[in-house]
Amino acid sequence: MHQREIHNVVILTGAGISAESGLATFRGPDGLWEGHRIEDVATPEAFARDPDLVQAFYDARRARLKAVEPNSAHQALARLEAEWPGKLLLVTQNVDDLHERAGAAGVLHMHGQLTSAWCLACDHRVPWTKDLADNPPCPVCNVSGSLRPDIVWFGEMPYQMDRIDAALRDADLFVSIGTSGAVYPAAGFVQTARYCGAQTLEINLEPSLGSVYFQKSRTGPASALVPAWVEEMLAGN
């Protein structure tokens, strides 16, 4: 991979990059869904059926953010974003705030954020760090019980797909870090980028479901592999 040939970079991250910070992944042996069937918490239908269960699930995860810190992989990507001389888009499927807390400025959260709430009454999104289970009023319209987690659930459209698609089509390099490739449309980004001429690299603890689509693959923990890769990128190797 020679820097001379690479100007536009798109990076996709998933739960694996936050695993070493202490946030559970979704599909690992101790995955997030253990004890919760995915359809009980991550669909709009589940929220309509049992809002208390869903709010409690996301309240617990929002509270957990306060107990964890970004790791060396988040920090390395923030450094790359700041120092890369070309264009770089950091897209995350994660709803945690660890990229931002590591210093990344322009993170695109395609599946939403735990630190945001969406009012179904007035349609505003507001920064949110507390619980939602006690049905607080919306700070914009004052309606109680109208706030839901600003999270993209199954069957809902991920955020800013037009912007992501344009960046993928323009990319010289697409890198996927810490994601299983089980959830679309993110799992299809490698094919779009590659079809449009990008080099493709996967960094994951183990080969993902979509590993075969990547030209290069590095397996191991993100905390070690991502800083090493960033050093190479900034050194022009």
What are the residue numbers of the active site?
A: 111
Part of the chain binding ligand BJW (CB under 6 A), chosen from 3-11, 83-91, 128-136, 151-159 = 151-159
| Under rule CB under 6 A, residue 113 binds ligand BJW | no
CA–CA distance, 65 with 41 (Å, rounded to integer): 19
The answer to whether residue 88 forms part of the interface with ligand BJW (CB under 6 A) is no
Provide the residue type at 35 as one letter. G
Stated length of the chain: 237
Site for ligand BJW in 13-72 (CB under 6 A): 14-16, 19-20, 25-28, 31, 42
Q: Is 221 in the site for ligand BJW (CB under 6 A)?
A: yes
C-beta atoms surrounding 30 within 10 Å: 8
**122, 141, 166, 182: which one binds ligand BJW (CB under 6 A):** 182
Residue 203 region by backbone torsions, left for phi larger than 0, else alpha for psi between -120 and 50, else beta: beta
Angle, to 10 degrees, between the axis of helix 222-235 and the axis of helix 72-83?
Answer: 20
Token duo for residue 162: 């037009």
Q: Which stretch binds ligand BJW (CB under 6 A): 80-88, 120-128, 153-161, 167-175?
A: 153-161
**Could you tell me the smallest distance in angstroms from the CB atom of residue 25 to ligand BJW?**
3
Q: Does residue 192 belong to the site contacting ligand BJW (CB under 6 A)?
A: no
**CB-neighbour burial class of residue 173 (10 A; exposed 0-12, middle 13-18, buried 19+):** buried
Q: How far apart are the first and last CA of the chain?
A: 6
Q: Is 204 in the site for ligand BJW (CB under 6 A)?
A: yes
Which residue in this structure is represented by tokens 């999104």? 125
User: Closest residue to ligand BJW, Cβ-based?
Assistant: 16
State the minimum distance, in angstroms, from the CB of residue 13 to ligand BJW: 8
In the complex, which residues of this chain contact ligand BJW (CB under 6 A)? 14-16, 19-20, 25-28, 31, 42, 93, 95, 111, 151-158, 161, 178-180, 182-185, 204-206, 208, 221-222
